[in-house]
Structure 1
């Protein structure tokens, strides 16, 4: 068993999705930090700019937390990861289309799609369902999926 498997009991796709999900989080963090300095000559009230920057920083920290949780193999982070991927692809679409900036827009769309593909590949789905080797998705669902896997783990720990 590799050290990566010991640290994060998740498939490689999920750990990679966590690393890739960190990119939009880092971008938001940088944007939230740079925004107040860049709007120094703006007509907007300073409080509005600081509130907006604060929102971006808080949102960035949430995305980075989700990315870290995916990288560490926490199943709860898959849904926020999917939402982050959809938002990233949407921002990319807006950049490429209505804003007329295909240079940053197309890679942003591709980044969001990459996260979605990684989170919906078969090993990622099997991990999220708690699927055992040789077991179908239907059998995992009948067994109780993640809850069944947790119950089996607790039973083994007691014995």
Structure 2
């Protein structure tokens, strides 16, 4: 009996620990506003998930641009433009071919981010099962992105 109680306690703690790790691994990190620059760019902390560090960083960059385009930045400082650049309903689907090309690995989206601020804040990395979640600080060149969308006929 003396051995059974500690064994049951250990098994319960082990099960609870595994459940907490699974929950943490599935947590959705949102893009946060860290500030707005005088040139119209937004400094944000974005998160990405991938099979390795490089994939996670690439996804974080895409997520930052995507949030500025379609969602707006709602977390962090209130200085960032909460309203997305594209407010048209179902624009992602309507211009699907355009945005699929825009967001390809090495696509045009990279022209609208800057990693100048990356040394100001340590990058965060969290592992969950077989993937890595990575947070990076970057600047989204919002005004340049808006000009491109107007030139390409997405915005009017």
More strand by share: 2
The TM-score with structure 1 as length reference comes to 0.22
The TM-score with structure 2 as length reference comes to 0.23
